[in-house]
Amino acid sequence: MLADMTTPTPTQHAIQVRGLTKSFKDVEVLRGVDLDVPPGSIYALLGSNGAGKTTTIRILATLLRPDGGTAVVNGHDVTTQAHDVRASISLTGQFAAVDEILTGRENLTLVARLRHLPNPGAIADDMLARFSLTDAGNRRAGTYSGGMRRRLDIAMSLVGNPPIVFLDEPTTGLDPQARLEVWAAVRELAARGTTVLLTTQHLDEAEQLADRIAILHEGRILVDGTLAELKQLLPAATVEYVEKQPTLEDVFLTLVGAPTGAPTPTPAKETR
Amino acid sequence: MTAHTYADTAALTGRSLRHIARSPDTIITTAVTPIAMMLLFVYVFGGAIDTGATAEPYVTYLLPGILLITIASGIAYTAYRLFMDMDKGIVERFQSMPIARSAVLWAHVLTSLVANLISLVIVVLVALAMGFRSGAGVGAWLAVVGILVLFTLALTWLAVVAGLSATSVDGASAFSYPLIFLPFISSAFVPTASMPGPVRWFAENQPVTSIVDAIRSLLTQQPVGNDAWIALAWCVGILAVAYGLAVAAYRRKVA
């Protein structure tokens, strides 16, 4: 089990997708998606609602079978070697899938046990500390704020250090501070060498986080490349002098105080 | 089947047992309705009911049916919990991990078994307080427990089908209403001999009657006869069909 997680079969890419198709009834959601995600990168799949982002992620996470095409994750085919794929990945879905009746610590311990790791309790404490949840560790996850819940969700995904992490719209429904916290967590992951494939419909999120960006539209990848490469697709910008106004985000974060390295846990109860 | 099937099932069963420990009201509410029925039938209607058995109090006659009603109302929580897990993406989280896939369902089934056994014990204790007595030996009691466990497993797998296929919380738990009603058209409350033709035919040929009769005979030390085998056949039959349906529904749902 552990061997699968630590020794990826030598391939050029962490994720390689060719001609992926998927239809639901008579709706063609994916019409031939090609994707190459280099290992250790943050790769953003950018697209509007209904573009096929979640469907792509669900196929890569072995939750859905493709109709056609191939997808290889960490050297394992998603349809024929699903169990090996699952040992290499973790998925954080659109809505924080935490057990609200269990405490944060119990949620993490459970995942560590299910990944068959030694010392689940120690791993849980470690993760709580890493995600600034130590104080809330013994409280039921149902009492967490949206940001805390999302942090717990991501912490649960990272138990066992899977080499590839899927984040499906990780900041949807979060307030600006919680969003920055999630961004910091994602950057830290990539710094540790984890490959991150995230979906987003926020352009700035892709711009801020991603090493490479692919734009998914109506079931096809329109373009992909680094931000600089994508910007070259349009004619060079003309230079204009504009008085720089603070953005609303700048104003908001200045007034309420931007989160520093260690995010402040807000005990407010929030439903998503 | 992977090498981790047992460990994974144990971890997930521990999780749902925690849910029950933190909401013990689910066990209480499971036991309250059958207990209320037992009180109602023993102290209100019981005086007018002629079971034909003079030696035993009516509560002893009634108990087997009440136990089945307890199970039928208890399994609704399994459907509810499974539906919530599916709805909140918890099942998907587990499914995207390298765990034994069957562990998710078995954890709910084993939890249902534990919760229902606790509810059954509460109901039996109340029945004892109301005058239920049995001279049955260890063997007969073990047989009764065995039948109740099989019946719980059979209905729980039905609940799994409901939990997986429901589109709303209400739908997930409402499926058990007809199951709770079934004992009323059986030998659970009154002997079937008093019922008119077609009703009597239905009552005598539906699973509850044979199961109730088998448990009643065991508890009152009467010869069990064919009832035990018919009861067993019903339980195993329902269990096999429900298990098959549940696995099919699971495959459809989680690819």
The overall average pLDDT reported for chain B is: 88
**Digit-coded pLDDT (tens) for B29-66:** 888 989 999 999 888 887 777 777 666 788 888 999 99
Q: Which residues in chain A have their CB less than 8 angstroms from residue B11's CB?
A: 110, 113-114
A206 vs A167: CA distance, rounded Å:
12
**Residue of A199, A164, A224 whose CA lies nearest to A41:** A164
| Model confidence at A109: pLDDT above 90 | yes
User: Are A170 and A208 within 8 A, CB to CB?
Assistant: no
The tally of CA atoms less than 13 A away on the side-chain side of residue A255 is 8
Q: What is the pLDDT of residue A6?
A: 45
Residue B27: which H helix or E strand, with range?
Answer: helix B25-40
Residue A176 confidence class, pLDDT cut points 50, 70, 90: confident
| Model confidence at B105: pLDDT above 90 | yes
Q: What is the pLDDT of residue A267?
A: 45
**Digit-coded pLDDT (tens) for A134-149:** 999 999 999 998 888 8
Residue B159 confidence class, pLDDT cut points 50, 70, 90: very high
Nearest chain B residue (CA) to A5: B98
Query: A residues 242-261 near B, CB within 8 Å?
Result: none
Backbone conformation region of residue B224, classed left if phi is above 0, alpha if psi is from -120 to 50, else beta: alpha
| Model confidence at A104: pLDDT above 90 | yes
Q: What is the pLDDT of residue A272?
A: 42
Residue A4 confidence class, pLDDT cut points 50, 70, 90: very low
Q: Which residues in chain A have their CB less than 8 angstroms from residue B97's CB?
A: 86, 90, 111, 114-115
The reply to whether B7 touches chain A by the CB within 8 Å rule is: yes
Average pLDDT (A108-113) is 95
Interface test with A, best of B5, B6, B93 (most A CBs within 10 A): B93
Domain that holds residue B193: 5-254
Q: What is the pLDDT of residue B120?
A: 94
Nearest chain A residue (CA) to B12: A110
Nearest to A86 among B88, B96, B255 (CB): B96
Q: What is the pLDDT of residue A271?
A: 43
Higher-confidence position of B240 and A8? B240
Q: Which two tokens stand for residue A218?
A: 């109506």
The reply to whether A272 touches chain B by the CB within 8 Å rule is: no
Beta bridge partners of A90: A165
Which of A234-243, B215-224, B235-244 has the least mean pLDDT?
A: A234-243
Q: What is the pLDDT of residue B255?
A: 58
Beta bridge partners of A31: A21
| Model confidence at A265: pLDDT above 80 | no
| Model confidence at B156: pLDDT above 90 | yes
DSSP string across B167-201: SSHHHHHHTHHHHHHGGGGTTTTS-GGGS-HHHHH
Nearest to A93 among B14, B89, B98 (CB): B89
| Nearby residues of A234 by Cβ (< 8 Å), 6 or more positions away | none
Inspect the interface and report whether the beta carbons of B255 and A116 lie closer than 8 Å.
Answer: no
Which of A230-234, B14-18, B70-74, B99-103 has the least mean pLDDT?
A: A230-234
Average pLDDT (B115-120) is 93
| Model confidence at A2: pLDDT above 80 | no
Nearest chain A CA: its distance from B100 CA (Å): 9
Distances, alpha carbon A151 to alpha carbons A128, A187, A265, A267, B28, in Å = 9, 14, 10, 14, 35
Q: What is the pLDDT of residue B54?
A: 63
Nearest chain B CA: its distance from A251 CA (Å): 35
The reply to whether A210 touches chain B by the CB within 8 Å rule is: no
Residue A24 confidence class, pLDDT cut points 50, 70, 90: confident
Of all residues in chain A, the percent with pLDDT exceeding 90 is 28
Q: What is the pLDDT of residue A3?
A: 43
Residue B124 confidence class, pLDDT cut points 50, 70, 90: very high
B164 vs B171: CA distance, rounded Å:
11
Interface test with B, best of A84, A105, A113, A117 (most B CBs within 10 A): A113
Interface test with A, best of B23, B82, B96 (most A CBs within 10 A): B96
The reply to whether B15 touches chain A by the CB within 8 Å rule is: yes
Q: Per-domain residue ranges for chain A? A: 2-232
Q: What is the pLDDT of residue A1?
A: 41
Specify whether domain A2-232 bears CATH 3.40.50.300: yes
Higher-confidence position of B176 and A66? A66
B100 vs A72: CA distance, rounded Å:
22
Residue A237 confidence class, pLDDT cut points 50, 70, 90: low
Q: Which two tokens stand for residue A57?
A: 């992620």
Crossing angle (nearest 10°) for helices B207-219 and B138-165: 150
The reply to whether B227 touches chain A by the CB within 8 Å rule is: no
B42 vs A234: CA distance, rounded Å:
84
Nearest chain B residue (CA) to A94: B89
